[in-house]
Structures are given as structure tokens and as C-alpha cells.
Amino acid sequence: MVLDIRDLRESVPPPTPMPASAPANPHRSLEQLLKLAAGATSPTEQARAVEQLRQLIPGVDGVDYLFAVLARVGAPARLAAAQTLGFHRQWLSSRSRIRQVVQAARQAETEGMAVILVWALRQRNEAAEFLLDERPGVAVEAALGVPLNRQTLPLCVEALERAGRPFTQTETGRVLVAKLPGMHPALVQALIELLIERSLAAGAAGLLPLLEWVPQVPLFEAFVVAGDGPDFSGQTDGALRARAWQQLARAARHLLERAPSSELLRHLLTRSGEDDGFVRRHDAFLRAAMRQADRRSGPELISHVEHLTFKASEEMVARLAQVLVELAGRLDGPAAAQASALLESWKGRSAELKLRIYQLQHKLGTQG
């Protein structure tokens, strides 16, 4: 019987106290509990032993004993020992212990045993190796536990490439792509480089949809603000790399204009207020992105503009007025009323600003 205790939520009876006459053996209580968990004849009995193993904090000798049990292939208590090592992970400070767990997971005689050992490696880079495991449960457990960083990203991308499109058709793919929106912005450039490498290796245009899951602000900086992109001319395969980058850039720009996130729209508004040159350089992109604002995102964006312009200079207000006038013209209901009220309040700042906003509104009305 195997009880999955990685996320034990059911209530269990209180731990059974050890007999007062138990020998003074430092492994005795741990050994007894392992035997109880391995030999339990009912889920309740096993859950009781498992809960006691969770509560028991093994010392150095206890950890040594658990690894000794783990090394005994076929031992009845081996799975319980692996589960206990997953609860109490002070052994993670030892590189040799980590290698032991990785090796045990590679050679696990059952998928359940491998899953528990990979769970014990959660939030460690070593878990990434098992993303490519042929046993579905092991790969999913690795996806759940793998941290997203420069060391693990290549294997994450390879696992997604193997999963095929759509990436969410497998559980491993669903777990991995769900992690991408939370990736550190600095990792976006590393991901771009990986996508270029994969494209050169296998023509992996199928990975382009990964861009839909990536944080959009660093994507915008990499593919829109950067203009023509990196200079690949000094590399032997520079032309191929430049072509791959351009393919990514077209896909990214299309995505950002078609479905900009609220975070990206707020970023665009902030940059527009700070830098007149930014507005001029990216005017077409700004217009395309702002056209996607709707009833859901509109009120949030207008509140953001109001926050940006609180006690702001007239120059900053004037820069944002152009964006807000166009945004207001595409909204209706309370959001449109909120935008109109903000524009009216700006008109009261000066006659020059009032004229500027009036001209913008007239121009938009003429175009409409």
C-alpha cells in the first residue's frame, strides 16, 4: 500500500506514544515508525505513522539511518524513508546526499518511488533533469518542483518542445507554462536566446507560442525598444541568427499589439509620461496597444494615468493627454466618464493645456 503523503490534509489520530520501556537506541522510534508505515494494513494506520514521521525531526544519525534504508533496494521501509527525507530536508546542505537522492530517483524500481524522490528535490535545480523522464508522473512532479532560472530554463524549454503544441495538452506542459508569467524579467533575454538556439537546431518555429506566456514588459523592451536587435554579423551563423531573431520579433510585436497585458499598458503610460521621445519613437505601437483597452482594463488604466499626473508637470500631462484622449474615445460607460472628468480637470491647469486637449479631441472627432 502506498499513501501519497506529499500533501497530507486529512485529519489523523494523535501520535501513539512510544512505550516507556523502549531501548535507548537513537534510531529506535524512527525505525519503528518506518516499519509501521511500510507494514500498515489500513490507510488510517499508515496515515498515523506518516504523521508521526512528519513530526519527528531526525538528527544527523537519523538522517544517516534514513539514507541507509534508502540504499536497500527492495526494503519494505524504503518508500517510507524516501517520504521522510522529503519532509525533513536538512540533507540538502550536502552535495553527496543530493547526488544519492538523484541517483535513487534515476534507478527507482517504481514510478511512485521516483515521484517521491523527485518531490524531495523540489525547488532544487537537480529536479530539472526529470522533466524529460518517460514516466508521466515523474515528469509532472519535476515540473511542479523545478525552480525557473538560467540553469533550469534549457531543460524546461526542451520539455515544452517535446510536449508539442498546444503546450497545455499535457500535464507537464500545463505546469511549466503556468510558471512562465512569473519568471524574473532578466530571464526573458535568456529565453529569447534559447528560442534562437532551438530554431537553429531544429527549425523550432513551434516554440513561438511560448511568447504568449512570457512577461510582456521585458518582451517589449527586447523586441520593440531594441529596434533592429542584436548585431550577429560577427558570428559564422550570423545571418541565420538574425533571421531567427526577426521571426521572434515579428511574433512578439504582433502579440503585444493584439493582446497587451495590463502590466504592459501601465508601463507604456508611465514611459509616455516620462519621455517625449518615447512617444514619438513608438507612436504607432502605442496607438495599436491602446486600442485593445476595454471595459475591464480601461478603469485601471485611467486610474493609473490619474496617479501619474498627480502634481505632475504640465509637460508630462500634455504628453499623456494625447494617449488619454484616444483611450477615452474607445471606452464607454463609467470608464469613459472617468476619462472625460480627468481631461476636464487638466483643462483647468492652464489655457495652453486646455487648447492642446481641445485640439486633440477635435482631431479625434474628425478622424472618427
Tell me: pLDDT of 19 over 80.
Answer: no
Confidence of residue 28 (pLDDT cuts 50, 70, 90): low
DSSP 3-state of 292: coil
Distances (CA, A) of 46 to 28, 56, 82: 18, 15, 15
| Contacts of 137 by beta carbon, 8 Å cutoff, 6+ apart | 111, 112, 114, 115
Tell me: pLDDT of 12 over 60.
Answer: no
Percent of the chain's residues with pLDDT above 90: 52
The predicted structure's pLDDT at residue 208: 85
CB 105 within 8 A of CB 128: no
Positive/negative CA dihedral, 215, 217, 222, 224: positive
Tell me: pLDDT of 14 over 60.
Answer: no
Tell me: pLDDT of 91 over 60.
Answer: yes
Tell me: pLDDT of 17 over 80.
Answer: no
Tell me: pLDDT of 283 over 60.
Answer: yes
Q: What is the DSSP letter of 19?
A: P
- Distance between CA atoms of residues 354 and 334, nearest Å: 23
How confident is the model over 36-63, as a mean pLDDT?
A: 87
Task: Kindly report which listed range (81-85, 161-165, 346-350) carries the lowest average pLDDT score.
Answer: 161-165
Task: Kindly report which listed range (105-114, 279-288, 356-365) carries the lowest average pLDDT score.
Answer: 356-365
Can you give the pTM of this predicted structure? Answer: 0.82
- Distance between CA atoms of residues 54 and 80, nearest Å: 11
**pLDDT tens digits along 184-200:** 999 999 999 999 888 87
Tell me: pLDDT of 10 over 50.
Answer: no
The residue count of the chain comes to 368
